Structure 1
Amino acid sequence: MTIWVVSDGRRGIENQALGLAEAVARELDNPARIERVTVRKDGFVTLPANSHPDLWIGCGRAAIAEARRHRRVFPDCFFVYVQDPRGRYSSFDLIVAPAHDRLRRENALPMIGSPNRIAASQLDEARARFADEIDALPAPRAAVLIGGASKRYRMTPKIGRYLEERIAGLLDRGVGVMATVSRRTPEAIRKRLAERFGSDPRVWFFDGEGDNPYFAFLAAADWIFVTEESTNMILEAATTGKPVYLLAMDGKPGKFSRLHAALAAQGALRPFLGTLETWTYPPLDETRRMAHAVIDRWQPAPQ
């Protein structure tokens, strides 16, 4: 079985389609070959050699135009799109859409958020791989996942100071901190956090250099703090079943307030009001649920 994952190659976009493809392969218990197809900014695409997709999964605007072309070449392939294709609904056999987008189409299925690549085995492997570094930190431990500016949010110097205070407050409580910034984090804030916490033995501050311990942070954390603009990191945190707190940004959530409310209703998400609470909830498993929906539509049971 061959699955094509089509996107513009941006990590946050590609990982949604790739996460769904990997989940489908796991649920079928099938040694699928997953091929990544990247659409460059100039529109150039290099297709996999000697490859015929059985299942096509795309995400992002660049994938929408490719779907129309690929349907003509591969008429027997099953086409799935992640997110809202903005009017091109007939190009896809199935659309996996965020519930907060409120898309109503016969071929659309809503889910909380979007697919991700998190799997229990992946978290366990990452925790074991970075065991020495993590065990050197004080326990209990908190992961602090820091994103950056988006269409709705800004990461201002004021927010930088707020993040600094949050990490310092955790340390004052005796909590070990595993903090990571992203490529969207402003350089001034990245530098400020690194200068204050980079050499603190109670903190593992990851600034992008070397092997990425992100999955290990999720696996080892007793609490997870996430900047509120990053829907992907919030959803990944919620797959762990561990307490998740939002870190405020400068801006307004708009439709994403519906996503935050859905995660709060699931028991995953709470605002941080100064007290560290411990609670449990069923880990968010929407990617697996959508994988089964894809399989059911693509390979319906015989009548």
Structure 2
Amino acid sequence: MESIRCITGAAARHAHHHRCSHYGIRHWALFLTSIPKAHQQRAADQPRRLYATKNTTHERATRKLNLAPRVAYQPTSATTWIISDGLVSADKEAIALAKGLSLPWTVKRVQWRQGLQWLPIPFKKLIMDYHHVMNRRQTDKLPWFLTGDPLAAPYPSFVLGSGTNAVPGLLQVSRMSGKASYSAHIHFPALPFIHFDQVFLQRHEVVVQLAALGLMKDQKNYFRINSTLNTITPKSLVLARTKALDQGLIPKSYFSDRNSSSIVAVLIGGPNEDCSHNTDRMVNRLARLIDVQGCRVLISFSQRTAANTKQAIAQLRERVQDDEKIFVYDPMAPHGTGTTSGGNEGNRGAVSWTGVPGPIGAAGFLERVNPYEAMLALADKIVVTADSVAMTNEALATGKPVYVLGGELARGKLKVFHRYLADSHATRAFRPGRIPIMPLTSNSKNGNGTSYGNDTADPLSYPGDHPAWNTSLAGQGPDEIKKLAERLRIMRESRITGRRVPEHIAEATC
């Protein structure tokens, strides 16, 4: 009898092993989760009872696995979702691409739960995969490791995200929709591109981050873009200028042509892992720009500008004490105090970002009261801190002279980015002269008949001759957005219908 029981048990184990071997990672995940239960029984139960309990646990888990349906193909609505973590520069790119798709769009603010944000992206992906293996059923509830807006059905036709912080929400929507929502990620996602339907990379990301992957750099579903996606055109600059004048966002003296001094827009970001700030050097150069070169300055802070930088700029403004020479705007200040320049008629404050939901924080805020684009329209020249790729590309989109402040402090991919722009003569280093510098305009000749004075001096950059400005990136943003939107629509349609991707899309390069 015992021998028959042993043979029967061995056959059952063999059949069970043969049946579970087809499950792969699911089987091993269930097996590992059942080990603690078996160890808890071992101290109190008999070996025979332990064997029965272990088998029962596996059988129940297997039945649960068989009954749990896979995520099937889900119908989608003709909408676009933008996964946001509240960062303005990332949201602006995704919103620009969403507008190019010509579908109703919604911002979904989703981010990692506090305490998990410090983990590297690959470890976060393992947490997501393990949760998906252990919870196969369809649910509209956010998983335990995410917080923010619900990602419930009906799912969109397209889901867009920019930056690594948008990766978890992007993957969650793609997974819960059964890949029905076509996912596109802007910038390097720090994950294999196979997890996304399309990835858009800028030149410096291809050169530095993608090339560092070695053999894995040959990933097929990425497309290189020339600059940050933006909607800046000559028409949009005119509209922004008119809006700022009508709403009193900038003092009226900056709209007057009576003052012949140049207007310089200074866009100040914040330090990051690839670029630090030297606040004293920054303030000294800005003071030289006002006191020595006689320029009028429009300064705009960003969402990441450090408190000590704001304080140093405020001290500079108090020393100058002339609102016609320096105007400072702080988008992070509470409502009613968005501008740090005092006494200007009609000045408006910004909406505080604390507790503001995604659509208002990312889109409505920028379109209603922020004079950022109006500053670009009014400026004769633009100065940008080296930490921000987005603001640099937006400044280049205007076609005006662009100077980089603190480019010598850039590292990694930012160093490659600014070196390429400087070598192509699209930007210059911001080093205003210590004495008034006037461009050379003389066409006289020396004794040998050789002309001199080529009008190449620049009062805002280091001494010496400078090549002509390269404005090839001016106004390319809208055209590039149209090209990328068309690519997304055709790629999604080809996947749904099963048709071959047209050659002009499959073989397209930037």
Correspondent of 2:263 among 117, 133, 141: 141
2:112 match: secondary structure: coil
Which residue of 1 is the match for residue 309 of structure 2? 189
**Aligned: 1:98 with 2:98:** no
**Aligned: 1:6 with 2:83:** yes
Quickly say closer, same or farther: Cα 1:107–1:244, change in 2 above 3 A. Answer: same
Q: For 1:292 and 1:176, locate their aligned partners in 2 and report how far apart those are by CA, in whole Å.
A: 38
Q: Would the aligned equivalents of 2:233 and 2:475 in 1 still touch at CA under 8 Å?
A: no
1:153 match: secondary structure: coil
**Residues 142-195 of structure 1, C-alpha deviation per residue, up to 9 Å, x if partnerless?**
00111221112332xxx2222222222222323211012234333233122213
**Aligned: 1:204 with 2:327:** yes
Q: For 1:76 and 1:174, locate their aligned partners in 2 and report how far apart those are by CA, in whole Å.
A: 58
Which residue of 1 is the match for residue 429 of structure 2? 271
Correspondent of 1:170 among 276, 285, 289: 289
**Aligned: 1:78 with 2:182:** yes
Instruction: Please identify the structure whose Cα radius of gyration is greater.
Output: 2
Gaps of 5+ in 1: none
Q: For 1:293 and 1:188, locate their aligned partners in 2 and report how far apart those are by CA, in whole Å.
A: 40
RMSD of equivalent CA atoms: 2.8
2:147 match: secondary structure: coil
Quickly say closer, same or farther: Cα 1:68–1:255, change in 2 above 3 A. Answer: closer
Which residue of 1 is the match for residue 238 of structure 2? 124
TM-score w.r.t. the length of structure 2 is 0.52
**Aligned: 1:114 with 2:240:** no
**Aligned: 1:152 with 2:266:** no
**Residues 207-242 of structure 1, C-alpha deviation per residue, up to 9 Å, x if partnerless?**
331132111111111110111111111111111111
Q: For 2:193 and 2:84, locate their aligned partners in 1 and report how far apart those are by CA, in whole Å.
A: 17
Q: Would the aligned equivalents of 2:156 and 2:181 in 1 still touch at CA under 8 Å?
A: yes
Q: For 1:66 and 1:185, locate their aligned partners in 2 and report how far apart those are by CA, in whole Å.
A: 26
**Aligned: 1:226 with 2:416:** no
Higher relative contact order (CA 8 A, sep 6+): 1
The structure richer in strand per residue is 1
Q: Would the aligned equivalents of 1:93 and 1:107 in 2 still touch at CA under 8 Å?
A: yes
Q: Would the aligned equivalents of 1:7 and 1:60 in 2 still touch at CA under 8 Å?
A: no
Q: For 1:249 and 1:263, locate their aligned partners in 2 and report how far apart those are by CA, in whole Å.
A: 11
Which residue of 2 is the match for residue 53 of structure 1? 156
Q: For 1:72 and 1:190, locate their aligned partners in 2 and report how far apart those are by CA, in whole Å.
A: 43
Q: For 1:174 and 1:101, locate their aligned partners in 2 and report how far apart those are by CA, in whole Å.
A: 38
Q: Would the aligned equivalents of 1:39 and 1:63 in 2 still touch at CA under 8 Å?
A: yes
Correspondent of 1:288 among 447, 457, 479: 479
**Residues 38-81 of structure 1, C-alpha deviation per residue, up to 9 Å, x if partnerless?**
11332124247775412211123343233333224433332111
- Deviation, structure 1 residue 271: 1.6
Is 251-260 or 115-124 further displaced after alignment? Answer: 115-124
Q: Would the aligned equivalents of 1:100 and 1:113 in 2 still touch at CA under 8 Å?
A: no
Q: For 1:270 and 1:249, locate their aligned partners in 2 and report how far apart those are by CA, in whole Å.
A: 10
1:232 match: secondary structure: helix
In the TM superposition, 1:217-256 aligns within 5 A as: 217-248=375-406, 251-256=409-414
Quickly say closer, same or farther: Cα 1:226–1:194, change in 2 above 3 A. Answer: same
2:166 match: secondary structure: helix
Q: For 2:470 and 2:186, locate their aligned partners in 1 and report how far apart those are by CA, in whole Å.
A: 29
Is 195-204 or 41-50 further displaced after alignment? Answer: 41-50
- Deviation, structure 1 residue 37: 1.1
What amino acid is the match of 1:232?
Answer: A
**Residues 85-125 of structure 1, C-alpha deviation per residue, up to 9 Å, x if partnerless?**
22241122211012212234211011234323545443222
Aligned length: 294
Q: Would the aligned equivalents of 1:227 and 1:246 in 2 still touch at CA under 8 Å?
A: yes
**Aligned: 1:65 with 2:191:** no
What amino acid is the match of 2:381?
Answer: W
Q: For 1:173 and 1:251, locate their aligned partners in 2 and report how far apart those are by CA, in whole Å.
A: 24
**Residues 6-47 of structure 1, C-alpha deviation per residue, up to 9 Å, x if partnerless?**
12222233223223223x24xxxx3x2111011133212424
Which residue of 2 is the match for residue 15 of structure 1? 92
Q: For 1:169 and 1:148, locate their aligned partners in 2 and report how far apart those are by CA, in whole Å.
A: 21
